[in-house]
Structure 1
Amino acid sequence: MSDQASEIPRPEDATERPEPAGQAEPSERPRTSGPAVSAASVKGPLPESHGAAPEPQQVPIGTRPGGHRSPPNPRQYGKPQASVWSRLRPVGPTTIRSSTLCSALATAILSALLLGDGLGSNLLIVALPTALAAFFAARAAGRRLRPWTAVWAVGGLALLVVPALRDAGWPTFLAVVSAVALGSLALHSSRGWPGVLLGSLCLFSSVTDGVGWGARGVRERMADSRGWLGAVLRTTAVAVVLLIVFGALFASADAAFADVLGNLVPDVSVGEGLWRSLLFVVGLVGALAAAYTAAAPVHWDAITVRPGRARGRLEWALPLMVLNLLFTAFLAVQLTVLLGGYDKVMAETDLSYSPYARQGFWQLLWATLLTLLVIALALRRAPRGRGSDRTLVRSVLGALCLLTLVVVASALRRMDLYVEAYGLTRLRISVAAVELWLGVVFVLIMIAGVRGARLLPRAVAASAAVAVLAFGLISPDGLIAEQNVQRYRDDHSIDIDYLQGLSADAVPALDTLPEPLRSCALMEIERSLRASDTPWYATSWSEARARDILGERGSGDLARVCQASRTGGGRDGDRGGDEGDPYDPYDPY
């Protein structure tokens, strides 16, 4: 086709199509009054104007004879269909602000310097610039601080107090995971069940976008203000060199100053360079992901769960009523047992006192969990539409929740009896805490049935966070040690081998045991504390308190005292008691 072809008007029913890449805009197309291109720009001889065959008329692609237009090809023209992810996060953030970049860089530096020595108050120190980066990004995007966002943010920071107070690793792990989940909820601001469940888990969906967002911001600043950025980098490098040189000279000149400097500055050796670099990258990526989520949150609440097909009243209510009758019959027997009928029950079942309590707890825990599933499925199939239907649903499910609360109380009573017989362990206190939280969930469900379920998802999430925070603050290892020491004073057995595996949280209670039990119980804990030389920011309050206690009581002689008692046949690690109070091998934790 010749470059001199004039533009042919399109039919009236033809729509505008996007220009292929590399062609001129419609306003730049050649007019019919002149050639499209100059003769000098065309290679080879131009065609003769006289005697040449007329050029065929141009017809828009996709237009059939008769004025009818063929359907467009979605692979070639038109805008692509919007994906699910583009609907959940429709708008990207604007250019990253300098305050956000500086906060993310501060998070990365603090992560590399502080997190390599352990967990303590350093987690809270690192979390503060991360929260600032998210705050600056949200403010730049025009987001306002809402009450529930403040609740999630404050709750997440409060959970990071647990590693600063407790030495035990398992409540610390629960607190850190819950803090990340609450931080993700604060960034997404979700309300419904899909939003609360996915919003607490999907902070990592912004990792790639956050890194790209930060990289674009750095490139723009390098291109627009190369002199300013270079001055900042040079100034920082000179300051670091001066601190290192003169700090090393002063430390070698005075031992007291060297000790102070060693406590304040992390000990970064060459062998730890790779580990510190990894922590720097993790801190930077995490802060950028949090800031990107705050600027462009994912609208998880846009995911809707369709309600199930409603059933008839009789078809829906009859199975649940039968289940309520079964719960009532079981609880009637439990009421008899709780009022003192254990002798009759044990005689009929050939079970001793403690196995009866142990056997029933796990079944009741599973019954509580399955009841939550039954309620969720029943709500999807519940009859709805009329006021009498809502009254029926509230009555039947409310009765089931109330009966389940009694089951929770019965399970906790069984665990109390079991702990009274065999002592408290980590597994027993953990499952008892879970059962207690499930009881709180059923109370919230009952309140939602009366006041409405709009706040139920966030209330359940908040109750879980409060439960994890309370579990860490009560010091589970300390509580275990106190309960076992009290049982020993009441002439029960004590398992020294188990108590040796507790953390420094248990030292104050174990320190009250008589010798040689005290030395045998504290020997392993003291050895672990002596082997670790962590700085102040990675040392918990319980660990510092344990060091003080063991230092005052001559902890270096613990192993010698315990070994001497074993050699002399003393009562060091025996479990005491009589034959009717044996050690329970069922729970090794």
Structure 2
Amino acid sequence: MLDGAYLWGGMELPAGLTYAAYAHRGAYALIVTALLAAIFVLAALRPGSATSANRRIRALVYLWSAQNVVLVISSILRLDLYIGAYSLTYWRVAAFVWMGLVATGILLIMARIALEKSNEWLLGVNMLTLSAVLYVSCFVNFAAIIAHYNVSHSREMSDGGSELDWFYLRSLGPQAIPAIDMMLNRTGDMGTAARTSLVSRHYEADQFRAQQQNWRAWSFRNFRLAAYLNRQSSPLPGAAAAPQ
């Protein structure tokens, strides 16, 4: 009911409660509910047991699992509000992925009940899902995604959003260079943070080009960044010589 009021009803958070605390509370509750759902299924609905054949108990477990799915959706919305207020980071991307895995795990619990599969089947399918997520994540350019999101949704680029964290943007490495260029070209800001980021941008680009001389460093991701750097040598022409 509280999630419905704050997340869908448009109510303001209580005084003193930040979006960070609100998101963390949802994440911690989600851990407990996910573990309880798994324990209920593993202990109460063993294949061939009397409780497993009881329709009322099965219906209650379905209801419990569906409620947990709603809680996962609420936690995702909490995290979305958190990111809107404080920008995106690696850990927040990981939280999104983790919540997706929790939701998938709960749906697999429901599938295990409906299909009358064994606990070994449930464990194996969950491990397969986790392996698939880890494998696909190897091909995702998270640094570029985070950098582009933070720049696009920053206060400097749009009416809302949070103030851009230049330090974190630079810490993402050379894959953040296109986002840094977009920010500098759009705003033309040459304040202290922007000048520092421009110098860091040139340093990162030079280091990246030097590393690409070794053929072992080649990857499709690096190939795309190298092609970008060849097309655009520097944002704000002449800005690199600005006073420090």
Bin the TM-score by the shorter chain. Answer: 0.7 to 0.9
Would you say the 8 A contact 2:34–2:106 is kept in 1? no
2:172 partner SS: coil
Instruction: Confirm whether residue 493 of structure 1 aligns to residue 172 of structure 2.
Output: no
User: 1:438 and 1:541, CA in 2 relative to 1: closer, same or farther beyond 3 A?
Assistant: same
Q: Give distance in 2, aligned partners of 1:470 and 1:457.
A: 20
Distance change >3 Å, CA 387–CA 358, structure 1 → 2: closer
Partner of 2:39 in structure 1? 374
Decide which structure has the larger Cα Rg and report it: 1
Equivalent-residue separation in structure 1 for 2:218 and 2:208 (angstroms): 11
| SS in structure 1 at match of 2:153 | helix
Aligned twin of 2:138? 472
| Structure 2 Cα separation of the partners of residues 505 and 520 of structure 1 | 15
1:118-137 matches, within 5 Å, as none
2:14 is the counterpart of 1:346? yes
Question: Which residue among 335, 352, 355 is the counterpart of 2:4?
Answer: 335
Pick closer, same or farther for the CA change 1:335–1:521 going to 2, 3 Å.
farther
Per-residue Cα deviation, 1:332-373 (whole angstroms, up to 9, x for no partner): 221122223532x414xx324x23433324323423443355
Change in 2 beyond 3 A, CA 1:342/1:527: farther
Tell me the distance in 2 between the aligned counterparts of 1:359 and 1:387: 35
Between the aligned partners of 1:444 and 1:377, the Cα distance in structure 2 is 13
Q: CA 1:333/1:507 → structure 2, altered by over 3 Å: closer, same or farther?
A: same
| Conserved? CA contact 1:481–1:509, under 8 Å | yes
1:538 pairs with 197, 217, 229, which one? 217
Does 1:442 find its partner at 2:93? no
Letter in 2 for 1:496: W
Distance in structure 2 (CA, Å) of the matches to 1:480 and 1:540: 20
Whether the 8 Å CA contact 2:101–2:130 is kept in 1: the answer is yes
Q: Distance in 2 between matches of 1:526 and 1:388?
A: 61
SS in 2 for 1:528: helix
After TM superposition, list the pairs within 5 Å mapping 1:270-285 onto structure 2: none
Please say if residues 398 and 446 of structure 1, whose CA atoms lie closer than 8 Å, have aligned partners that are also in contact: yes
TM-score normalized by the length of structure 1: 0.35
Deviation at 1:398, TM superposition (A): 1.7
CA gap of 1:495–1:527, structure 2 versus 1, over 3 A, is farther
* Secondary structure, counterpart of 1:458 in structure 2: helix
Partner residue of 2:28 out of 356, 363, 373 = 363
Q: Which has the higher contact order (CA 8 A, sep 6+)?
A: 1
Q: Aligned-pair distance for 1:436?
A: 1.0
**Structure 1 residue 552: Cα displacement:** 3.1
Matched residue, 2:242: 564
Asked whether the 8 Å contact 1:500–1:525 carries over to 2, the reply is no
What one-letter code is carried by the residue in structure 1 that aligns with 2:165? Answer: D
Judging by fraction of residues, say which structure has more helix. 2
The number of aligned residues is 228
User: 5 Å matches for 1:19-34?
Assistant: none
Deviations 1:305-352 (A, max 9, x none): xxxxxxxxxxxxxxxxxxxxxxxxxxx221122223532x414xx324
Distance 1:404 1:521 in 2: 45
TM-score by length of 2: 0.77
CA distance in 1 between partners of 2:232 and 2:47 (Å)? 69
State how far apart, in whole Å, the 2-side matches of 1:436 and 1:549 are: 33
- Cα gap change, 1:447 to 1:553, in 2 (>3 Å): same
Call closer, same or farther: CA 1:523–1:498 in 2, change over 3 Å.
farther
| Offset at residue 482 of structure 1 (A) | 1.3
Q: SS at 2:117's partner residue?
A: coil
Structure 1 Cα separation of the partners of residues 131 and 52 of structure 2: 36
Judged with a 3 Å threshold, the aligned counterparts in structure 2 of structure 1 residues 529 and 361 are, in CA distance, closer, same or farther, namely farther
Match of 2:94 in 1: 430
1:408 and 1:435 in contact (8 A); partners too: yes
Q: Is the 8 A contact 1:487 1:493 kept in 2?
A: no
Q: Corresponding residue for 2:198?
A: 519
Is this contact kept in 2: 1:444–1:456, CA < 8 A?
yes
Q: Percent identity, aligned pairs only?
A: 23
2:180 equivalent in structure 1: 510
Unmatched runs of 5 consecutive residues or more in structure 2: none
Q: Aligned-residue CA RMSD in angstroms?
A: 3.1
* Aligned-partner residue type, residue 543 of structure 1: N
Q: Which runs of 5+ in 1 are unaligned?
A: 1-331, 568-589
User: Quick check: 1:420 aligned with 2:89?
Assistant: no
